[in-house]
Amino acid sequence: MKTEVKEILEGVRDGSVSVDDALKKLKLAPYEDLGFAKIDMHRSVRQGAAEVIYGAGKTPEQIAAIAERMKERGQERILITRLSEDKEEQLPPEIGVRYVAEARIGFIGDMPVPNGIGKIVVATGGTSDIPVAEEAAVTAEFFGNRVVRLYDVGVAGLHRLLAHLDEIAEASVIIAIAGMEGALASVIGGLADCPVIAVPTSVGYGASFEGLSALLSMLNSCASGVSVVNIDNGFGAGYLASMINHMEVRP
């Protein structure tokens, strides 16, 4: 992904950005201190993607203040994760938040045209895993990826997954999301020739220990190419999948 600095320098080269304007943009403070939050304004310069607002634990007023300041600094697209429906309803309408309830995600601005090198497949073991899967899928879409959803294809009915071998073969990254014993990641890892990001969920009965059983199973996967994020961390999986799907050959 092109970083903000690269885009500024390319603008200077092609004449669309003056030297003075470029200098002004590069000299802006690296963060904004709002007292209750320090907004990282240079994250897109370092990482290619701007800071994301984590909604859990923040008041609607705090979320609104952070979003407004980011918009004032020129950020046109903002992602807000773990945003509950009641908090979303309390946000000022003028901020322009669009809400995806199943993913618990709000976002400002439009979804971009996909520009990744391939497709990201998001697969779940069961229907109960869909909220985490939607967090991953919407995150990936927000960062410019084409996403294919394969829901309820767990190992209790393996034929459901095998019916989608074409989608698995065509993926550049696969996110495998499952609770219970978390076996889906190993099965997909044994079928795919691309990176597999495993996401354990807190779905399951008592001995699943709120996702710990699935987490340990995924960490102990015998399939090569499987990495694991934390329990219910759909955002982390979607973000990482986007980074992989935007990798460029570097000199």
3-state DSSP of the chain:
CCCHHHHHHHHHHHCCCCHHHHHHHHHCCCEEECCCCEEECCHHHHHCCCCCEECCCCCHHHHHHHHHHHHHCCCCCEEEECCCHHHHHHCCHHHCEEEEHHHCEEEECCCCCCCCCCEEEEEECCHHHHHHHHHHHHHHHHCCCEEEEECCCCHHHHHHHHCCHHHHHHEEEEEEEECCCCCHHHHHHCCCCCCEEEEECCCCCHHHHHHHHHHHHHHCCCCCCEEECCCCCHHHHHHHHHHHHCCCCCC
Q: Say if residue 216's pLDDT is above 50.
A: yes
134 and 97 in one domain? Answer: no
Q: Lowest-confidence range among 4-8, 67-71, 131-135?
A: 4-8
192 assigned to some structural domain: yes
**Residue 7 binned pLDDT confidence (cut-offs 50, 70, 90):** confident
Structural domain tally of the chain? Answer: 2
Mean pLDDT value of segment 13-30: 76
97 and 129 in one domain? Answer: no
Q: What angle do CA 68, 70, 72 make, to 5 degrees?
A: 70
What are 115-172's pLDDT values in tens digits? 999 999 999 999 999 999 999 999 999 999 999 999 999 998 999 999 999 999 999 9
What are 162-193's pLDDT values in tens digits? 999 999 999 999 999 999 999 999 999 999 99
Kindly report the pTM of this predicted structure.
0.85
* Domain that residue 134 falls in: 119-245
What are 91-117's pLDDT values in tens digits? 999 889 999 999 999 999 989 999 999
What are 35-59's pLDDT values in tens digits? 777 777 767 666 667 788 999 999 9
114 assigned to some structural domain: no
16 assigned to some structural domain: no
37 and 150 in one domain? Answer: no
13 assigned to some structural domain: no
Beta bridge partner(s), residue 148: 121
